[in-house]
Structure formats: C-alpha cells, structure tokens
Amino acid sequence: MAYLQQAPQRCLGFDIACDTITVSDGDGLVTIANRRAPIRRFLQKCRAQLCVCEPTGGHERILLEECLRLSIPVHRADTRRLKAFIRSHGRLGKSDAIDARLMARYGRERWQDLALWQAPDPDRERLRCLVTRRADLLAMKVAEQNRAKAPGAAGLAASCRDMLAAITRQIRLLEAEIRKLVRKAGMRARHAILTAMTGIGDITAAALLALMPELGTLHRRQAAALAGLAPHPNESGTRVGYRRMRGGRPQLRTILFLPALHAARGRGELADFYNRLITNGKKPIVAIAATMRKIITILNARLKTIQYQQS
C-alpha cells in the first residue's frame, strides 16, 4: 500500500451521490455532476494534493479513476473510521456539506495513516464481482428454501421450485466462470497454494483471492485482524471480559467457517490443533474460531514464502 510522504497543502473532501458530488476544502463548497467530463475539468483546476471520498456502492469509481489518471493521490475512507472521526467532533447532524467538510479535515489530520487508492487488477476485480454475486445468490437460495418450508406454503410449491432451480442454475454458471478465471497465469499459482490445504476447495480459494488480495503480504496479526478473526480485549480495571472477534472483513469469517468445521470433524491437517483446544477446555465455538485464525495465518505464511522465493 502507498502513503503520502509529506503533509498535503490542499486536501479536498468529496461526498458522492448518484448524480452529484459535493466538494469541500474544509471551508468552501462546490457541487459538480458525477460524470467523467465535469470531474476531470474540476480536478484539472483544483490543485488538490489529496482527495478523500468514501465507498458509495460504486458511484465513486469515476472520481477514483480520474484522480489516478491525473496522478492526484486519493484515499477511499473506511466508513466506520470516518463516522467515528465525525462523531469525535460532536457532529450529530448529517448533510452532504457536513460530510464533505469533515472528509477534508479527516485527510488533513490523518494523512500519514491513509492508504492511497490504487487501480485493482482487472481479473481480480472481475473475480471479486463473481464471488460477491455468488454469495448474494446463496443468500437468496437459503431464503427461498425457508419460504418453501414455511407453514401454508404448499400452494406456492411450484413457484418455489422454479425459483430455486433458476437460482441454482445461476450459481453453477458463476462457479464455472470462477474456476475458469482462477486458471489464468496471474492467479493459478496462488490458487494452487490455497487449495493444497485440506478443506479449502476451488471456490473457497477463489473467494479468499478475491476478498483478501493482501494475503501473503501481511504479518500474522495483520492477516487475522483483516479477516475479522482477531480477538479484541474487553477489560476495565480488574474486570477481564470475554474477548470477541470483530472488525475486519466479515465475509471472510463466513468463508473460513466450513474449512474450520472440516477440522472439527477430525479431517485435515488442523484436526489435531482443534482437538487439542477442546482437550484444554475450550468451548467448541471458541476452538472453531481459533482454527479459522490458524487457517488464515498458515495460508498467509505459505503465500509469503512463495512470493519471497520468486522475488
């Protein structure tokens, strides 16, 4: 990840909507259309040294691409961190103007810790879209199955069957495209390393590549935290509370649960690790969580070793 090496003299905050963008340098405000030509003209004139925006379901994509094209550093802020920063200033109200002003302030005050956005690899971005869509369809499939089993659903059985058949067909098509994509040279080696672990199949490995591209570049604690598997302390004075996993990318916890369950059933290279935790008195769900964390740290180390050998 890239970071600024010196404090920006002019930082702009961009609050992005579907059709418009509200821009502030902390004081003044201007609204421009969320289209490529107006954004390009504005960026060419603004002399910004850092731009800050937040994820808006893809509506920020044009701004990010134009900043990259004009070599203007841009940071796409984590929404939770940005909201915490805004609350820390006692702001209870919300508007496009308020958000834009405070995003500019966020950039000025936190510039040293803000990773700059870089264009994703096209194949990896395509893989991410496919994996995300498959997860959406799986959720729809579960919902439709629950509807089919609900009391009084007998009269809708045919409709439920047709819908489930359509969803299942789409999932299979997506899985076929995912398998085809990970065979490309840029991902084949990393995919092979991931699937070498028992319990990690083709689709699970593809999901890890798509949703955690940093895997293999982090130390073990960073990998666990990014995957949302780090147990955070809950202590105050003499009280030592129950540690809970939170933060990170929660989708990864869902992905890693089944490989951990595979170990819990006595299969794979981490079965002994899980059984040892149970023998030491750990609750099954705690042991599964620890196994998930062990999986991600092992995979991170294996990918890091391969990258070191290739460099």
- Identify whether residues 101 and 140 lie together within a single domain: no
81 token code pair: 């961190």
Q: Given this model, what pLDDT does residue 26 score?
A: 82
89 and 36, same structural domain?
Answer: yes
Residue 156 lies in a domain: yes
Could you tell me the two tokens for 180? 């085809």
Q: In 3D, which of 234, 178, 170 has the Cα closest to residue 211? A: 178
The whole-chain average pLDDT of the chain stands at: 91
Residue 76: inside a domain: yes
Domain check: are 240 and 306 in the same one?
yes
**158 and 85 both lie in a single domain:** no
Question: What percentage of the chain exceeds 70 in pLDDT?
Answer: 98
Domain assignment present for residue 102? The answer is yes
Give the pLDDT mean for 70-80: 93
Residue 100, domain member (yes or no): yes
pLDDT of residue 309: 60
Six token digits for residue 122: 């096209």
Q: What is the pTM of this model?
A: 0.82
Question: CB neighbours of 153 closer than 8 A, spacing ≥ 6?
Answer: 147, 160
Q: 78, 113, 148: which is the final residue of a domain?
A: 113
Q: Same domain, yes or no, for 44 and 90?
A: yes
Tell me which residue range forms the domain holding 143.
122-182
Number of structural domains the chain divides into: 3
Q: Does a structural domain hold residue 55? A: yes
Supply the CATH number for residue 79's domain: 3.30.420.10
Residue 307: per-residue pLDDT:
63
At 40-52, the pLDDT tens digits run: 999 999 889 999 9
Interval 210-259: pLDDT, tens: 999 989 989 999 999 999 998 888 888 888 888 888 888 889 999 999 99
Examine residue 1 and state whether it is found in any structural domain, yes or no: no
Whether the pLDDT of residue 273 is over 80: the answer is yes
When pLDDT is cut at 50, 70 and 90, the band that residue 206 belongs to is very high
Residue 61 and residue 126 in one domain: no
**Strand, helix or coil for residue 273:** helix
**Domain-ending residue, one of 113, 139, 166:** 113
The whole-number pLDDT of residue 310 equals 56
Judge if 225 and 293 occupy the same domain. yes
The domain boundary, picked from 113, 132, 164, lies at 113
Cβ-Cβ contacts under 8 Å for 281 (sequence gap 6 or more): none
**pLDDT band at residue 1 under the 50/70/90 scheme:** confident
Residue 311 confidence class, pLDDT cut points 50, 70, 90: low
Could you tell me the pLDDT band of residue 308, with boundaries at 50, 70 and 90?
Answer: low
Residues 143 and 170 grouped into a single domain: yes
pLDDT of residue 154: 81
The answer to whether position 146 is within a domain reads yes
Spatial separation of the C-alpha atoms in residues 12 and 48, rounded to whole Å: 7
pLDDT at 94: 86
Any domain includes 191: no
Give the confidence band of 152 by pLDDT, cuts at 50, 70, 90.
Answer: confident
Confidence of residue 6 (pLDDT cuts 50, 70, 90): very high
Q: Are 29 and 5 in contact (CB under 8 A)?
A: no
Are residues 18 and 96 part of one domain? yes
What residue has token string 């040293």? Answer: 112
* Residues 86, 51 share a domain: yes
Both 100 and 28 in a single domain? yes
pLDDT (tens digit per residue) in 99-124: 999 999 999 999 999 999 998 889 99
What's the pLDDT band for 57 if we cut at 50, 70, 90?
Answer: confident
**Cα separation, 49 vs 73, whole angstroms:** 6
Residues 227, 160, single domain; the answer is no
